[in-house]
Amino acid sequence: MRVRLRVEYGGVVAEVVALVNTGYETDVPELLIPIGVAERLGLWPRLPDDTLVETYRTASGLMRVYRVRGARACLAAEGAEPRCVDSYLVVSEYVDEPLISDQLTSRLGIVIEDPAQGLWRLRGESRLRRSEA
């Protein structure tokens, strides 16, 4: 299931469609982004000095990532007020689409109704929404 986000970092804004991934468990809100999105946000190839280089354990094995603080992720759902959350950006050379962590999913108020059918809603709403293409 995918949702549209507006990602802000350092005065630059990029719109992305991101996969909601409850298996991506974190302690704080994170948005895992591929190199192409990092380039659009001005983060790649020159990462900020305070970037943390970390190793994440994934279903496919270990993955080196670059963790950057200071971003803002805003849910851009049709007919809803924008919901924005301060978030880390996690840059990976190994992913091909943005992934939303469980913490970011929760803070954005996303409730998964039917993952196979791509149906979701916002917490407190009854309106069912469809996954982005």
Contact between residue 41 and residue 7 where contact means Cβ atoms under 8 Å apart: yes
Q: Which amino acid is at 77?
A: A
Task: Determine if the peptide bond prior to 45 is cis (ω within 30°).
Answer: yes
Residue 75 has pLDDT above 90, yes or no: yes
What pLDDT was estimated at residue 122?
A: 97
* Domains: count for the chain: 1
CATH number at residue 110: 2.40.70.10
pLDDT in tens, 84-95: 999 999 999 999
Domain containing 113: what range? 2-130
Is the predicted pLDDT of residue 80 greater than 90, yes or no?
A: no
Summarize pLDDT for 93-116 with one digit per residue, the tens. 999 999 999 999 999 999 999 999
Distance in angstroms (rounded) separating the CA atoms of residues 85 and 35:
22
Give the DSSP per-residue string, the chain: -EEEEEEEETTEEEEEEEEE-TTS--SS-EEEEEHHHHHHTT-SSS--TTPEEEEEEETTEEEEEEEEEEEEEEE--TTS--EEEEEEEEEESS-SS-EE-HHHHHHHTEEEEETTTTEEEETT----EE---
- pLDDT of 81 higher than 90: no
The model's pLDDT over 11-66, given as tens digits with 9 standing for 90+, comes to 999 999 999 988 999 999 999 999 999 999 999 999 999 999 999 998 889 999 99
Mean pLDDT for 59-75 is 95
47 with 68: CB under 8 angstroms?
A: yes
Asked whether the beta carbons of 70 and 12 are under 8 A apart, the reply is no
pTM attached to this predicted model: 0.95
User: pLDDT value at position 96?
Assistant: 95
pLDDT of the residue at 22: 87
**DSSP readout, 63-86?**
EEEEEEEEEEEEE--TTS--EEEE
Find how far residue 99's CA is from the centre of its chain.
5
